[in-house]
Structure 1
Amino acid sequence: MSDAHPHVVQGASPNEVRNPETRAEMRRAAVWIGMVCAVALVVLLVQPLLIIFAGLVFASMLDGGVRLLGRVLPIGRGWRLLIVCLLTVAFLMGTFYLTGVQVAAQFSQLRATLEFQAVRVTGWLTQQGLMPGASDVSDIAQQALGSVGRLTSWVGTAAGALTTFFMILVIGLFIAMDPRVYDRGLQWMIPQDQRHEFAVVVQRMSHTLRRLLAGRLLGMAFEGVLTAIALWLVGVPMALILGILTGLLAFIPNIGAFISGALMVAVGFSAGLNTGIAAIVVYFVVQTFDGYVVIPMVAKRTVDLPPALTLGTQILASALFGILGLALADPMTAMVKTALERRSEKVEDEEGGASEGIA
């Protein structure tokens, strides 16, 4: 059997498109279909992507500490990273060792106090005709305190959260060890004519993220310590745990301050009317001082995000991605803002160059 002269069927195939306009439309449709598939894939993998982004945020925190330590210790990056990790672990272990028993007892007391205060408030509202009957009050209180209950029992029940937290730490640590490897990998995926601009944008976004996190950690520490001392001076129970919670919740501006204030007021009124009023005064004094003195001073040296923009982003992120999205809303906003500002600068430079050429 010979293959020298095969019989070839003549004529166009039914699936062959020779019209150039039809081919162009098909390519456009393929692009849109690809974008839709990419968006669907992102929605499907949103939780892993958030974990990876949280690892990047943690890596930026470690990188900021390494860079800060490099100003005083002229040693290798690996040794500086080791020192930062050891200091972080020592601080956490020392804090839990010194206050672990007291914090654990205060967590249980805080939960019981909040439940009792919720029952009192709902009972008073029921008497005023502003709430349903007494049979539904307990169910509403349980639903309202569901998030608080999960928060106070997180250590014993949230195995998934522990796994997520561990993965964030591991990803952040590996990236902080040698960030240039991952930077080169990302640039390799970008076309050559766009790599310089991509490198500039990534560098600016990394710088912005480090400054944002540095300012946020400083504000968290200051607000937590100031709240704990002020509550202790006015005699509010559980001042230590309230200070720790206030410092942790300060990572989420606006919403975190509202939650910590509600906790302070509830615990304060559980100890009496005067103590509750003192807790309210402490909350407003701390928030006023933090909002008008600390935050503006930190924002001048870090990243100044508009409050309405951050609050709107937090609402959207919490609705779409849950508590992890709420915690990462500010870093996302800062990075997007930096990228858009760089794009605006590039457009202005191109327009300025074009106007000079015309002149």
Structure 2
Amino acid sequence: MHDVDDKFKSRVSFTLLAIAALALAVFLIWIGRVIFLLLFASAIGAILLTTVSNWLHSRFKIKQGLALALFLCVTFAVTALVVWSQGPNIVQQFADLETDLPVAAHSLLTQMRSQQWGQWILRQSPGSEQISSGFSFALTRIGGIVVSSATILAGLVIVFSLSIYFSAEPEMYYNGIRRAVPEEYRGKMDACAASVAQILRWWVLAKLISMTLVGALISIGLWIVGVPLAGTLGIIAAVMTFIPNVGPLISVIPAALLALAISPTKGLLALLVFAIVFTIEGYVVTPLLERNIVRLPPALTLTMQLLLAAVAGPVGVALAAPVAAAILGILSVLLPKAPDVPVPTSKRVA
């Protein structure tokens, strides 16, 4: 009887300790949720750097450490050259954007008030004066948000630094995590890690190609149309392409405002440029690239963006797509592949 009581007490104690440990882990994850997302972004960067160093290692028969150092040196040299030659011009364009956006917003509101259709839209809105004034104030902050990037720059520096550390010695960091997993589950963990790395590798490469193409085409198209600061707007469009669903919509706003401030015709032409470029990116480039990567269902990506936006804010929105890709990679290993079942449709009753 005494032994039974001791076993019961030990089980209760173990259960309470497990619950307390789980609650503490959830609490720490919640407190450091942004940090964990930055670590996840660093892991993505490490996967990209490792892919490049592995390619250089196999192509030129040099050590992986030397290949990584060579790639980083070339990257730093090219970045320094671009900053030295084009940095002042880029900074000046972003400063001009910060000044021109509020002017464009007020010009657009003035044009709306001078037109019957604009007056009708403002009259239909409850508290139109407050809405228009708030709209103007919000737009005056867009340039500041774009230019005041100290926090974003600090986060990028942290992510890039950690990516270098992770890619220099990936086995050491991975084996450290692996030791915390029970031995019987390590094989499954290795399979999940390999699947996630493969999916994220192709996802990042495809996304970089899409971003480069979108930025170049938007810059060229806006320059042809005659929209000012076309290069800066192209950079914004390229960066925002990293964020599915939300990013392209955000990138349209400053270009449309600057173009509409000149004339409605230029505004329509600017919108047409964005529509054509993102149509090419969505229906031509991405399907070709997705032959080698997992296709992320748009509904899943949007759901993950909403969830992570509530949890971690803008950082969560930016990393929602790779998080969804990683989850799909894990599920592809843990869940057996089931045969596709056709979706039942309602039959027409004669």
TM superposition score normalised by structure 2: 0.85
Q: Distance in 2 between matches of 1:347 and 1:140?
A: 50
Match of 1:241 in 2: 232
Deviations along 1:233-292, one digit per CA (max 9) or x if unpaired, are: 222211111111111111111111111122221122223222212101101110111110
1:141 aligns with 2:132: no
Q: Distance in 2 between matches of 1:312 and 1:269?
A: 33
Match of 1:50 in 2: 37
Give the aligned length.
331
1:221 aligns with 2:212: yes
1:284 aligns with 2:275: yes
Please give the secondary structure, in 2, of the residue aligned with 1:326. helix
Q: How does 1:116-135 map to 2 (within 5 A)?
A: 116-122=103-109, 124=112, 127=119, 128-129=122-123, 130=125, 132=127, 134=129
Q: How does 1:269-308 map to 2 (within 5 A)?
A: 269-308=260-299
Shift of 1:335: 0.9
1:208 is matched with which residue: 199, 203, 209?
199
Q: Distance in 1 between matches of 2:65 and 2:274?
A: 42
Match of 1:336 in 2: 327
Contact 1:17–1:23, Cα closer than 8 Å, also in 2: no
Distance 1:190 1:180, change over 3 A: same
Contact 1:229–1:239, Cα closer than 8 Å, also in 2: yes
Please give the secondary structure, in 2, of the residue aligned with 1:118. helix
Which segments of 5 or more consecutive residues in structure 2 lack a partner in the other structure? 340-350
Please give the secondary structure, in 2, of the residue aligned with 1:251. coil
Contact 2:108–2:260, Cα closer than 8 Å, also in 1: no
Shift of 1:327: 1.7
- Percent of aligned positions with the same letter in both sequences? 26
* Amino acid paired to 1:208: I
1:33 aligns with 2:20: yes
* Amino acid paired to 1:149: G
| Larger RCO: 1 or 2 (CA < 8 Å, sep 6+) | 2
Distance 1:93 1:270, change over 3 A: farther
1:163 aligns with 2:154: yes
Contact 1:64–1:214, Cα closer than 8 Å, also in 2: no
Contact 1:113–1:270, Cα closer than 8 Å, also in 2: no
Q: Distance in 1 between matches of 2:156 and 2:83?
A: 18
Which segments of 5 or more consecutive residues in structure 1 lack a partner in the other structure? 1-11, 349-359
Report which of the two structures shows the higher radius of gyration computed on alpha carbons: 1
2:75 is matched with which residue: 88, 107, 115?
88
* Amino acid paired to 1:291: G
Shift of 1:168: 1.6
Contact 1:62–1:81, Cα closer than 8 Å, also in 2: yes
1:257 aligns with 2:252: no
Contact 2:56–2:67, Cα closer than 8 Å, also in 1: yes
1:322 aligns with 2:317: no
Match of 1:352 in 2: none
Q: Distance in 2 between matches of 1:230 and 1:70?
A: 39
Contact 2:192–2:330, Cα closer than 8 Å, also in 1: yes
Alignment root-mean-square deviation, CA: 2.7
Contact 1:119–1:138, Cα closer than 8 Å, also in 2: no
Shift of 1:222: 1.0
